[in-house]
Structure 1
Amino acid sequence: MKYQPYHYQAYATQWIIDKKKSALFLEMGMGKSVTTLTAIFELMYDYFDVSRVLVIAPLRVASSTWEEEIDKWDHLKGLQISKVLGSERERIAALYKKADIYIINRENVTWLVERFGSDWPFDMVVIDELSSFKSSKAQRFKSLKKVRPFIKRLVGLTGTPAPNGLIDLWPQIYLLDGGERLGKTITGYREKFFLPNKRNQMIIYSWKLKDGAEEAIFEKISDICVSMKAEDYLELPKRLDNIIPVDLPKKAKEQYEVLEKELILSIADTDVLAGSAAVLANKLLQIANGAVYDEDGEVKHIHDEKLKALDELIEAASGKPVLVFYGYQHDKDRLLTHLKKLQPRLLQTDQDIKDWNKGQVPILLAHPASAGHGLNLQTGGNIIIWFGLTWSLELYQQANARLWRQGQKQTVVIHHIIAKDTIDERVMKALEDKDVSQAALIEAVKARVAKYKEDVPHGK
């Protein structure tokens, strides 16, 4: 296919060529991959500026997306790739294969760094989904930091650079510039631009920006980061978001409240920490979906109300393909059993993607973490159903963008099945407010703790 770039794509390609360190904050569907590959081709064969490029990407993207982009466009046909994936033996063999671009999944970054150390062979590194390096405590960040001095050019790509706030920016920008713009340490960055927000004694859960800090941060990184929103450049399809409320049966509601109360009272006399809050929130989300793992790891059935609502939505789709997002393993198992006659398909392989896009899959089941970055599913359908919600705004947005993106010819309908008077409602509100930080989760749990403390008689 002949490549005729949009003007913003041509601008972004030149941005990469002109800068030794750069980041493209391009929203989903704006063609980050082809834009970057075009820059790589020019840097390699027109400017003779780079010779070996490493692309770090989520596993599914690493295994298919970049190769598909090269195969798709005529002007990229000369690029040779080697996928450093699979077993250690397969990865080593791939490293010694002659290629222009070597593609590795982010989970193996530490392995790669330990293998080469100061003999780092890649003069250009592209981090596809730079936001996956947003934690300064993560091993992948620490590993890449070690070899950063040996990298001539570094490009970061993401549509969501700060899904939980600007506090997430420091590690990502540090990998680009070694601390030139936002400081050498995360502590210094926080002290300069933030104030403690929500805390529990000495433990700080969230930070708020100082007055004028947002503008100051953007100004400091503006020479190496360019941000573009899809709505400003693309004709995105219309999107409709629906809330499908379900009432829990009396017995299920009682079970939910009992389990909620027991879980909450077990931590009510102690400080609500992130660990306990996350465990509690996950348990309550499971119950809202209809089942929960007990302490022995066995699945305890609670209700089928969401399955009934799903049946109605599928029937209303009148034969149109439906993409269903689930949250837990037992959700997946129950969905597969319940929908057996409709022949649902799990999103697992590249063939599943191809069949879906051909309209051959009536119901595609996917976990949002497996249907995130880089997957093009928009030609296969236009209906999404969230059977179970996620606290992750990044996963939520990325999952929806599989259908709500350029190339979609129909209005995208996104249904959210919400169990009334459960934690579902809090998660939905947090997603709508784009406040899905750890602090929001903890506050949600604290609110329930306060309620149940009030219900417990004094002296008990």
Structure 2
Amino acid sequence: MQYKPHDYQRHTTQFIIDHPECAIFLGMGMGKTISTLTAIEALKHDYFDVDKVLVVAPVRVARDTWPAEIEKWDHLADLTVSPIIGTAGQRAAAADRQADIYTIGRENIPWLVKHHGGRWPYDMVIIDELSSFKNPQAKRFKALKKVRPKITRIVGLTGTPAPNSLLDIWAPFRLIDNGQRLGKFITHYRDQYFLPDKRNGQVVYSWKIRPGADQAIYDNIADITVSMRTTDYLTLPEATRQHIEVTLAPKEKKMIDTLKKDLVLDLGDDTIDAENAATLSNKLLQLAGGAIYSQDGDVIEVHDQKLNALAELADQADGNTLLVCYWFKHERDRILARIPGARVLDTKQDFEDWNDGKVPVGLIHPASAGHGLNLQAGGHIMVWFTTPWSLELYEQANARLNRQGQTEPVSIIHIDTANSIDQDVHAALARKDTTQSALIEAVAAELDQAERTAA
């Protein structure tokens, strides 16, 4: 297929070529992959500036999306790709195979560094979904940081740079520029730009941005960052969001109230710390969904109200497919047992069948299928059985349908249990979006009129 780039794609490609270290905050559906591959092709065959390129991505994206994009476009025909996927033996063979581009799941980065030892062969590294490297204590971050001095070009790609807080961008930029702009140590960055917020004694659990510090952060990273919002450059069908609220019967509500009471009592009278708060919120989300795991791992079913609502949506779909996001495994199992034709989308064949319209109700988990997958051909109705706390996963999953190539107005439907933690989750996501929007806008690319209208 012949590639006819949009103006923002040309801008992004040239930015990558001109900046050996850069971060690309490109809106979902705007073609981060093809823009980056076009830059790689030019750097390798026109500029002779790179030899071997490593793409670090969610495993399904590394396995399916990047190889498929290379195969799709005519101008990339000379590029060869070797997905480093599978067993240790298969990964080793793929890593040692001769190719231009190597793709690998981010969880296997420590293995890859160990495999190559002191012979790190990749002079250019692409981090697809840069925000997944926000934890400086994670093995993947430490492994990539170890080989960072051997990398001459590095590009970070994401549509959600700071899904929770501006604290999240320190680690990604530590990898991008070796700490030149935001410092080499997270403690120094935190002390310079943030103030302690919530604490329990001497332990600080959250931090708030110092007045004016957000703009200072934006200014520091602006020279190596390009940012564009999807809505600024594409005309997409307008997505509508709605909430279907289910109400529990008195018996069901009493059962949940009892379980909630026991949960809180089990925690004791001490102030709830972060770990226990996370455990409690997970239990409450499970209860809102209709079932909960016991201490032994058994599933205790409490109500079917969300399942009933989902079944009604499936009946009312009138031939349209539904893409359903679940959060807990017992939700997946209960949906499969209840909804005729429901199918978990996991393999490459599953995704192809979905896009061919062969799956009436597709189930995905946003943590494993939320990034990089093009599912817009298969439908336009997204249903959240349980909405997670993560803004990044929420937005990325929605973008599987609400992206370029979608021909129908996208409907995003949330099934919420009345008077439950579901309402708290939606309020928290709305608050987090304010921070992320400010970051994206602050470093937004200022394309002049001539560039926007270039043929």
Contact 1:53 1:124 in 2 (8 A): yes
**Equivalent AA in structure 2 for residue 353 of structure 1:** F
CA distance in 1, matches of 2:431, 2:379: 27
Q: CA–CA distance in 2 between the matches of 1:436 and 1:306?
A: 29
Would you say 1:389 and 2:387 are equivalent positions? yes
* Other-structure match for 1:97: 97
User: For 1:116 and 1:196, how far apart are their aligned partners in 2?
Assistant: 41
| Aligned equivalent of 2:439 | none
CA deviation after TM superposition for structure 1 residue 267, in Å: 2.0
Partner Cα separation in structure 1 for residue 41 and residue 77 of structure 2: 10
2:132 paired residue number: 132
Structure 2: segments with no counterpart, 5+ residues: 436-455
Counterpart code for 1:418:
D
- Deviation of the 1:436 alpha carbon: 11
Q: Which residue of 2 aligns with 1:265?
A: 265
1:310 aligns with 2:310: yes
Give the conservation status (yes or no) of the 8 Å contact 2:165–2:432. no
User: Which SS does the other structure have where 1:407 is aligned?
Assistant: coil
Equivalent residue of 1:223, what SS?
A: helix
CA distance in 1, matches of 2:434, 2:116: 38
- Contact between 2:129 and 2:371, CA under 8 Å: does it hold in 1? yes
Structure 1 counterpart of 2:378:
380
Once the two structures are TM-superposed, the CA of residue 332 in structure 1 deviates from its matched residue by 0.8
> Which of the residues 391, 400, 403 maps onto 1:402?
400
Count of residue correspondences: 435
State the shift of 1:433 in Å: 2.9
- Using the TM superposition, give the Cα deviation of residue 116 of structure 1 relative to its aligned residue in structure 2, in angstroms: 2.3
State the secondary structure of the residue aligned to 1:119.
coil
Q: CA deviation at 1:156?
A: 0.6
1:416 correspondence with 2:414: yes
Letter paired with 2:423? E
Query: Matches of residues 182-197 of structure 1 in structure 2 within 5 Å?
Result: 182-197=182-197
When normalised by structure 1's length, the TM-score is 0.93
In the alignment, the residues of structure 1 paired with residue 60 and residue 336 of structure 2 have an alpha-carbon distance, to the nearest angstrom, of: 23
Mapped to 1, the partners of 2:309 and 2:157 lie a distance apart of 38
Distance 2:268 2:243 in 1: 32
**Structure 1 residue 48 and structure 2 residue 41: aligned?**
no
Whether the 8 Å contact between 2:84 and 2:90 is mirrored in structure 1 is yes
Helix, strand or coil for the counterpart of 1:154? strand
Q: Which amino acid aligns with 2:397?
A: A
Moved more, 32-41 or 303-312: 303-312
The 5-angstrom pairing of residues 17-56 of structure 1 reads 17-56=17-56
The answer as to whether partners of 1:392 and 1:436 remain within 8 angstroms in 2 is no
Other-structure match for 2:449: none
Separation in 2, partners of 1:404, 1:162: 20
Indicate yes or no: 2:152 matched with 1:152: yes
Q: Is the 8 A contact 1:57 1:106 kept in 2?
A: yes
Q: Contact 2:14/2:39 (CA < 8 Å) preserved in 1? A: yes
1:86 aligned counterpart, secondary structure? coil
Sequence identity percentage:
54
Asked whether the 8 Å contact 2:59–2:106 carries over to 1, the reply is yes
CA contact (8 A) 1:53 1:126 kept: yes
CA distance in 2, matches of 1:266, 1:293: 15
Could you tell me how far 1:435 is from its partner in structure 2?
A: 6.6
Which whole-Å CA distance do the structure 1 matches of 2:377 and 2:315 have between them? 21
TM-score w.r.t. structure 2 length? 0.94
Report the secondary structure of 2:118's partner residue: helix
Does residue 1:349 correspond to 2:369, yes or no? no
Question: C-alpha deviations, 1:208-230, integer Å up to 9, x for none?
Answer: 11121111111111111111110
**Map of 1:455 onto structure 2:** none
Contact 1:430–1:436, Cα closer than 8 Å, also in 2 = no
Q: Which residue of 2 is the match for residue 337 of structure 1?
A: 337
